[in-house]
Amino acid sequence: MVNDNELKRLRDMAAPRPRPAAKVGALHAAMVAFDAQEKNAPAPQGSASKQRLTERARKLWRDIMQKKLFAAPAIAGLVALPIAGYAAFYLLQDSPFRFRGSEQVSDAVANKPAPKSVAASESKKQAGDAESDAAAAPALNTEAPAEMGTVRQDTMASAGAPAPAAETAAGSRTATLRMMTEPAPSDLYLPQPESRDRLETFKTNPVRSVAEDPVSTFSIDVDTASYSFVRRSLKEGLLPQADTVRVEEMVNYFPYDWKGPATAETPFNSTVTVMPAPWNGQHKLMHVAIKGYDVQPAAQPKANLVFLIDVSGSMNAPDKLPLLQSAFRLLVSKLRADDTVSIVTYAGNAGTVLEPTKASDKTKILAAIDGLQPGGSTAGEAGIREAYRLAQQSFVKDGVNRVMLATDGDFNVGQSNDDDLKRLVEDQRKTGVFLSVFGFGRGNLNDQMMQTIAQNGNGTAAYIDTLAEAEKVLVEDASSTLFPIAKDVKIQVEFNPQKVAEYRLIGYETRALNREDFNNDRVDAGDIGSGHSVTAIYEITPKGAPQQTDPLRYGEAATANGGVANAGEYAFVKIRYKLPDADASKLITTAVTASNEVASFDAAGTDQRFSVSVAAFGQKLRNEDAMADFGYDRILGMASAARGDDPFGYRSEFLSLVRLASALAGRQ
Run of H or E residues at 87? helix 73-93
Q: Note the pLDDT of residue 667.
A: 73
Are 278 and 309 contained in the same domain?
no
Is 357 part of a structural domain of the chain? yes
Strands (E), 398-532: 400-407, 434-440, 461-464, 484-495, 500-506, 526-529
Contact in structure between 490 and 525 (CB atoms under 8 Å): yes
The type of residue at 534 is V
Give the model confidence (pLDDT) of 554-591 as tens digits: 655 445 555 457 888 999 999 999 998 888 999 999 99
Is 97 part of a structural domain of the chain? yes
Q: Which of these three, 153, 187, 221, is where a domain ends?
A: 187
Are 275 and 315 contained in the same domain?
no
Q: Note the pLDDT of residue 418.
A: 61
Are 450 and 503 contained in the same domain?
no
CA–CA separation, 408 vs 587, rounded Å?
Answer: 38
Q: Note the pLDDT of residue 143.
A: 38
Contact in structure between 580 and 487 (CB atoms under 8 Å): yes
Cα angle, residue 377 at apex, residues 374 and 379 outer, rounded to 5°: 105
Are 245 and 163 contained in the same domain?
no
Contact in structure between 394 and 433 (CB atoms under 8 Å): no
CATH number at residue 613: 2.60.40.1230
**Would you tell me how many other CB atoms lie within 10 Å of the CB of residue 630?**
18
Give the model confidence (pLDDT) of 216-252 as tens digits: 999 998 899 999 999 999 999 999 999 999 999 999 9
Contact in structure between 462 and 438 (CB atoms under 8 Å): yes
Q: Which of these three, 464, 499, 531, is where a domain ends?
A: 464
Contact in structure between 529 and 483 (CB atoms under 8 Å): yes
Q: Note the pLDDT of residue 419.
A: 72
- Going by their DSSP bridges, the two strands 400-407 and 303-310 should be labelled as parallel
Is 59 part of a structural domain of the chain? yes
Are 325 and 423 contained in the same domain?
yes
Are 138 and 267 contained in the same domain?
no
Q: Note the pLDDT of residue 187.
A: 39
Is 665 part of a structural domain of the chain? no
**Nearest to 360, CA basis, from 341, 338, 343:** 338
Run of H or E residues at 277? strand 268-277
Are 22 and 168 contained in the same domain?
yes
CA–CA separation, 491 vs 517, rounded Å?
Answer: 10
Q: What are the CA-CA distances from residue 501 to residues 30, 211, 272 (Å)?
A: 74, 7, 19
Q: Which residues are within 8 A (CB) of 133 and not within 5 positions of it... i.e. 6 or more apart?
A: 53
CA–CA separation, 611 vs 643, rounded Å?
Answer: 10
Q: What are phi and psi of 447, to 5 degrees?
A: -65, -35
CA–CA separation, 354 vs 368, rounded Å?
Answer: 7
The type of residue at 594 is A
Strands (E), 117-237: 208-209, 215-219
Is 363 part of a structural domain of the chain? yes
- Give CA 389 to chain center in angstroms: 32
**Would you tell me how many other CB atoms lie within 10 Å of the CB of residue 37?**
11
3-state secondary structure of 234: helix
Is 473 part of a structural domain of the chain? no
**Which residues lie across from 401 on neighbouring strands?**
304
Q: What are phi and psi of 495, to 5 degrees?
A: -95, 145
Are 414 and 304 contained in the same domain?
yes
**Nearest to 651, CA basis, from 603, 614, 605, 601:** 614
CA–CA separation, 166 vs 35, rounded Å?
Answer: 27
Check the CA dihedral 564-566-572-574 and report its sign.
Answer: negative
Are 392 and 428 contained in the same domain?
yes
CA–CA separation, 640 vs 636, rounded Å?
Answer: 6
**Would you tell me how many other CB atoms lie within 10 Å of the CB of residue 572?**
17
pTM: 0.69
**Nearest to 328, CA basis, from 406, 441, 224, 389:** 406
Tally of domains in the chain:
3
Cα angle, residue 368 at apex, residues 364 and 370 outer, rounded to 5°: 115
Q: What are phi and psi of 361, to 5 degrees?
A: -95, 65
CA–CA separation, 583 vs 355, rounded Å?
Answer: 31
Are 383 and 415 contained in the same domain?
yes
Q: Which residues are within 8 A (CB) of 561 and not within 5 positions of it... i.e. 6 or more apart?
A: none
Is 495 part of a structural domain of the chain? yes
Query: Got the DSSP string for 583-634?
Result: SS-EEEEEEE-GGGB-SSGGGS-HHHHHHHHHHHHHHHHTT-GGGTT--HHH
Contact in structure between 105 and 155 (CB atoms under 8 Å): no
What parts of the chain have a pLDDT lower than 70?
Answer: 1-25, 27-28, 31-32, 34-198, 348-349, 376-380, 410-418, 444, 552-564, 668
Q: Which of these three, 158, 187, 216, is where a domain ends?
A: 187
The type of residue at 60 is L
Is 361 part of a structural domain of the chain? yes
CATH number at residue 419: 3.40.50.410
Q: Which residues are within 8 A (CB) of 444 and not within 5 positions of it... i.e. 6 or more apart?
A: 196, 197, 314, 408, 409, 410
CA–CA separation, 613 vs 638, rounded Å?
Answer: 6
The type of residue at 16 is P
Check the CA dihedral 182-185-189-191 and report its sign.
Answer: negative
Give me the domain span that covers residue 491: 208-294+485-550+569-631
Are 511 and 534 contained in the same domain?
yes
The percent helix, strand, coil of the chain (3-state, each to 5) is 40, 20, 40
Are 230 and 246 contained in the same domain?
yes
- Give CA 465 to chain center in angstroms: 8
**Would you tell me how many other CB atoms lie within 10 Å of the CB of residue 269?**
18
- Based on C-alpha coordinates, what's the Rg of the chain? 32
